[in-house]
Amino acid sequence: MKDKNWQVCSRCVMDTTDWTITFDLNGICNHCYQFDNVTSKNWFPGDNGKKLLDNLVSKIKQEGRKNEYNCILGMSGGVDSSYLALVLKDYELRPLIVHVDAGWNSELAVHNIEQIVKYCGFDLHTHVLNWEEIKDLQLSYLKASLANQDVIQDHAFFASLYSFAVQNKIKYVFNGGNIATESVFPSCWHHAAMDSINLKAIHKRHGVQKLKDYKTLSFLEYYFYYPFIRGLNVIRPLNYMPYNKKNATRILKERVGFKEYGRKHGESRFTKFFQNYYLPKKFNMDKRKPHLSSLVLSGEISRSEALHSLSEPLYEKKELDEDKSFVAKKLGISKEELERLVMAPKGHYSQYANWDSRYKIMVRTKSIIEKITGKKIKTY
C-alpha cells in the first residue's frame, strides 16, 4: 500500500520515494526542471555534438601520436561501455581497455567483453581483485546496512582505471556514462562511491582483515592529483551523439554477437541482486524509476511505456531464490543470514567518518576562485 502522501511526477515517473523531491503546481518534479535548465545544456545529440567530438578526437590523436595508447576505456560488459568501444573503433582511436573483475561477473558479461575486444582488435587488461578482501568489504557494507552496496566495485573500478592511465601515460579517460539514460538520480539515495574515508571507516568497524591489495582514491587524488597534476580528462562521448540504448543494443548484437542481460546491470550478479531486491526491500528504492525517467526526458520512451515497465515485477520468485543462494554462497554465509542482513535496521553513511566537510570546503574554494578569475574550474 502506498503512503497517503505519495505522489508521482506528471511528466516523468519519479515519485516521493525520493524524499527530497518537489513538485510545481502542475505536478512536474524538480528532476525535470534540472534536466531542462541544467543537465540538457551539456547534452549535444545533434550535428553540433558531432563537430565537438570530431575536434576532440583529432586533438587526442595528435597529442597521443607517439604513444602506444592514446586513451583508456573501462569496460564492465554493459551496453553503454560496450557501445562506446565500437565508437572508439569507428574513430580509429587506440584505447587500452581495462576491465576490473570484482568476482561478480555474469557469464554473459565475460562473453560480451571477449566478443567486443576481439571485434575491435583492442588490447584488454583485466585486473582481478583480491576476492577475500572484496568479500570482507562486501560483508562490511551489508553489516553497516547502507543503501549503496555497489561502492566496493565502483571505487575499485575508478581507482584502478586512473592508476593504469597514469602508468601508461594516458591523459584521456573515456566513460560510458551519459545523459540520455542517466540524467535523473536522487542525490539523497546514495553517498559518493569515491569517498575512501567513508569506505575505510566502514571497513574498520565491520571488517575482519587488512586491505593489502584493494586500491583506493584519496580526496586529494580524486579532486586534485589526477585532474590537475596528472592532467587526466574524463570524456563522455555518448553525450555528443544521439545515443539510444535500444539502437545501441541492436547494433552490438549485429556487429559483435552481444547477448542481452534482460535487466539493467545484469553484467554483475551482485549489482543485479542489490538493485532489484536489497534496495527495494530495505529502502523502498526502485532504481528503475530514475533510469526510466531519464529515458522519458531524453525522448527514448514515453511516460506510459515507463509506467508499464514499472508495473512488471523486479524479480521472478525462482530467479530471486537462485540469486539469493548464489550471493550467500559467494559471501560464505547462509541464505538466512543474508536475509537477516537485508531486513536489519537501515544504516546511513553519515554514521561513519566521511569527506563531506572537505567537499564543502572545496566547493566554497572553487566558487571563490571562479569569481576571482572569471573561469570555470572543471572537476569530476
The proportion of the chain whose per-residue pLDDT surpasses 70, expressed as a percent, equals: 97
Smallest Cα–Cα separation from 190: which of 226, 148, 144, 159? 148
Give the up-direction half-sphere exposure of residue 52: CA atoms within 13 A in the CB hemisphere.
15
Which residues, at least 6 apart from 329, have a Cβ–Cβ distance to it below 8 Å?
Answer: none
Is the pLDDT score of 4 beyond 80?
no
pLDDT of residue 265: 54
| DSSP bridge partners of 105 | 268
Which residues, at least 6 apart from 16, have a Cβ–Cβ distance to it below 8 Å?
Answer: 3, 5, 6, 7, 8
Place of cell 566502514: 202
Is the pLDDT score of 343 beyond 90?
yes
The 10s digit of each residue's pLDDT in 37-56 is 999 999 999 999 999 999 99
Instruction: Determine whether 146 is exposed, middle or buried from the number of CB atoms within 10 Å of its CB (0-12, 13-18, 19+).
Output: buried
Is the pLDDT score of 305 beyond 90?
yes
pLDDT of residue 267: 82
The 10s digit of each residue's pLDDT in 86-120 is 999 999 999 999 999 999 998 889 999 999 999 99
- pTM of structure: 0.93
Grid cell of 66 as nine digits: 607517439
Say if CB 177 and CB 69 are below 8 A apart.
no
Handedness of CA 128, 132, 133, 136 (dihedral sign): positive
Is the pLDDT score of 148 beyond 80?
yes
Is the pLDDT score of 162 beyond 90?
yes
DSSP secondary structure letter of residue 376: P
Residue 2 pLDDT level (bands cut at 50, 70, 90): low
Q: What is the mean pLDDT of residues 219-224?
A: 95
Grid cell of 193 as nine digits: 562511491
pLDDT of residue 182: 96
Is the pLDDT score of 16 beyond 60?
yes
pLDDT of residue 143: 98
pLDDT of residue 335: 97
Say if CB 227 and CB 379 are below 8 A apart.
yes
Residue 380 pLDDT level (bands cut at 50, 70, 90): low
Say if CB 343 and CB 282 are below 8 A apart.
yes
Say if CB 86 and CB 255 are below 8 A apart.
yes
pLDDT of residue 303: 98
The 10s digit of each residue's pLDDT in 360-378 is 999 898 888 877 887 776 6
The CATH code that applies to domain 46-370 is 3.40.50.620
Q: What is the mean pLDDT of residues 72-79?
A: 94
What DSSP assignment string belongs to 77-137?
SSHHHHHHHHHHHHTT--EEEEEEE-S-B-HHHHHHHHHHHHHHT-EEEEEE--HHHHHHH
State the alpha helices, DSSP H only, in the chain.
30-37, 47-63, 79-90, 107-120, 131-144, 151-167, 179-182, 196-206, 219-220, 245-256, 269-273, 279-283, 288-298, 303-311, 317-331, 335-343, 356-373
Lowest mean pLDDT among 1-5, 37-41, 188-192: 1-5
Grid cell of 264 as nine digits: 539493467
- Report the interhelical angle of 79-90 vs 107-120 (nearest 10°): 10
The 10s digit of each residue's pLDDT in 222-277 is 999 999 999 999 999 999 999 999 999 999 999 999 998 876 557 889 999 999 99
Which residues, at least 6 apart from 230, have a Cβ–Cβ distance to it below 8 Å?
Answer: 165, 166, 171
Rg of the chain on CA atoms, in Å: 21
Is the pLDDT score of 6 beyond 80?
yes
Average pLDDT, the chain: 94
pLDDT of residue 367: 83
The 10s digit of each residue's pLDDT in 323-341 is 999 999 999 999 999 999 9
pLDDT of residue 237: 97
Q: What is the mean pLDDT of residues 133-137?
A: 98
The residues spanned by each domain of the chain are 46-370
The proportion of the chain whose per-residue pLDDT surpasses 90, expressed as a percent, equals: 91
